[in-house]
Amino acid sequence: MSQIELRNVNKTYGKNNCVIDNLNLRIPDGSFTVMVGPSGCGKSTTLRMIAGLESLSSGDLYIDGTRVNDLEPGERDIAMVFQNYALYPTMNVRENIEFGLANAKVPKPEREKRIREICETVGLTPYLDRKPGELSGGQRQRVALARAMVKQPKVFLMDEPLSNLDAKLRNQMRTELIELHKQLGTTFVYVTHDQTEAMSMATDIVLMNQGEIQQVDSPERLYNDPDNLFAAQFIGNPTMNLFKRTEMEPFLQLPEEVETVGFRPSKVRLLEAGDSSTDGEIVTSGPILTRELMGSEIIYRLRAPFGIITFKTFNEKQLPEDMTVRVAVMKKCMYLFDAGGRRVRV
């Protein structure tokens, strides 16, 4: 078991700078949990408290059922992969991976066995005698992963480990990390500000803002069933279409407490000439303002009577800008929020 629990955790710098406010979180054993949110939301601070690199101002932290508040990082049976890899430039790949094991006085035959197995797993065997400066960014990232894996920890902690890679390599490394997690079956805790990483990799997502958890859920539920306006806006690309109550009242009957109405761009249906709508849809029209070609997907912005609508088409011909088109949205696909940003469920 390598479950992690944070109970009533607070982190304050100085007298008034509260970074984490009464955080309660359970990270399941064997999960790939991604902590995501905007810069300064507290996700990296939370990860560093789990690692033992930051102390808790108050509250309790448990790993595998053991309270670890007062344990040093090396006593917590965790391994951390940093954004900048933190490799020793004068050591070759083998020496970088072996360094922690040698310090832990693991016998040399066991060290060699672990290094051989790990390097086969992450594809580093041909590079064992090279220095970090002779490796690509992806190879250096694999060395950092191998150095963590060789310790055989209960928990892997990763702080934006792919942010220094180019887009193509990030995509490749995301796939490799997913496969690695399945192979190891160990608890992964991963911090990022990139929702694409969170949605594509996680079994569980912890969405944070201003030191507080906004929602903990699977990627699918976080996207399809957001608890609040922040979750609805943060998750999804393009972002959710949002309109004020006064803009939507001519088209919808809304409960009294509703202040904001939203719907996903993917839920907007382009109506061709002769298409009819159903009773469960609202229909509007307007000129196309912009379009973005994203391969098989095209993203449009349309000026409707109640505001700007973003919508997508897939594998269809491009529509010219300034062309007036009709679109429809199912009422059941709309999200309602009150003045405080809380979800109104009807």
pLDDT averaged over every residue in the chain = 93
4-228 matches 238-344 in fold: no
Q: Confirm or reject CATH 3.40.50.300 for domain 4-228, answering yes or no.
A: yes
- The 10s digit of each residue's pLDDT in 267-313 is 999 998 877 777 889 999 999 999 999 888 999 999 999 999 999 99
The percentage of residues in the chain with a pLDDT greater than 90, rounded to a whole number, is 74
Question: Does the model's pTM come out above 0.85?
Answer: yes
- What's the token pair of residue 341? 């940003």
- The 10s digit of each residue's pLDDT in 55-94 is 999 999 999 999 999 999 989 999 998 888 789 999 999 9
Instruction: Identify any residues that bridge with 289 across adjacent strands, giving them in sequence order.
Output: none
pLDDT at 83: 80
Residues with Cβ < 8 Å from 189, sequence gap 6 or more? Answer: 4, 27, 33, 35, 47, 50, 155, 156, 157, 158
Give the class (CATH, top level) of 238-344: mainly beta
The ranges assigned to domains in the chain are: 4-228, 238-344
Q: How far apart are CA 33 and CA 319, in angstroms?
A: 40
Residues with Cβ < 8 Å from 318, sequence gap 6 or more? Answer: 291, 293, 298
In this prediction, residue 315 has a pLDDT band, given cuts at 50, 70 and 90, of: confident
